A = this chain, B = another copy of it.
């Protein structure tokens, strides 16, 4: 108990402040725009010194992306859980379903961030960069799963396609005002690509 509490307190404070920074930053970004908000303003609003900001976030961009990284990491976990006998595309479909429903639970939070992301090139670029990182590791996992050699194009193709599907669905979901549930959209897109793009929808 003492151990949990002791290390827990530091950790908790750290998480709280990180969260606070995110929150005030998002508010300011929405009010004044990303570029017109300075690190100085953000840290002041969070009650911290400017220098301290950088021990919580490596860059201003990362304020908006927050747990983006963590969330995509769950795809890999989910992928690991799929039986090895399952065809690769099916396994991907199942894994992405998990993340899709995760997303759907936090619509409001997500939408605010997405708005800022779409309006701010540097942030958008950073999000794509993160995605590219996962595409890479996802491809590595798939290569293992498919027992594919380094000159087998399939892992890369599958990873790239799956993330493209996710991104396109997410964007569609957000721009159409969430008329259809995200998981449904994602599944439909995976199905379409499973059947083949030569086929009519």
Q: A residues bordering B, Cβ < 8 Å?
A: 87-90, 121, 124-126, 128-129, 131-132, 150-151, 153-154, 156-161, 163-165, 167-169, 171-172, 175-176, 179, 185, 188-189, 192-199, 201
Contact A168 B195 (CB under 8 A): no
Main secondary structure of the interface of A (DSSP, over half): helix
21 pairs across A/B with beta carbons < 8 Å?
Answer: A124-B132, A125-B125, A125-B128, A151-B176, A153-B189, A154-B201, A156-B171, A156-B172, A157-B165, A157-B169, A160-B164, A160-B165, A161-B164, A161-B168, A163-B164, A164-B164, A193-B196, A193-B197, A194-B196, A194-B197, A196-B198
Rank and list the top 6 A-B pairs by shortest CB-CB distance, nearest first: A196-B196, A164-B164, A128-B128, A160-B168, A125-B129, A160-B164
**How many copies of the shown chain assemble into the complex?**
2
Contact A179 B151 (CB under 8 A): yes
Contact A172 B153 (CB under 8 A): yes
**A123 CB to nearest B CB, Å:** 10
Q: CB within 8 A of A121: which of B124, B129, B153, B164?
A: B129
Pick the most buried of A161, A163, A167, A189: most chain B CB atoms within 10 A of its CB.
A161
**A89 CB to nearest B CB, Å:** 4
Q: Within the assembled complex, what's the spacing in Å between the Cα atoms of A167 and B160?
A: 8
List of B residues within 8 angstroms of A171 by Cβ: 156
List of B residues within 8 angstroms of A121 by Cβ: 129
Which residue in chain B gives the minimum CB-CB distance to A89?
Answer: B197
List of B residues within 8 angstroms of A195 by Cβ: 196, 198
**A158 CB to nearest B CB, Å:** 7
Q: CB within 8 A of A161: which of B132, B156, B175, B197?
A: B197
Which residue in chain B gives the minimum CB-CB distance to A88?
Answer: B197
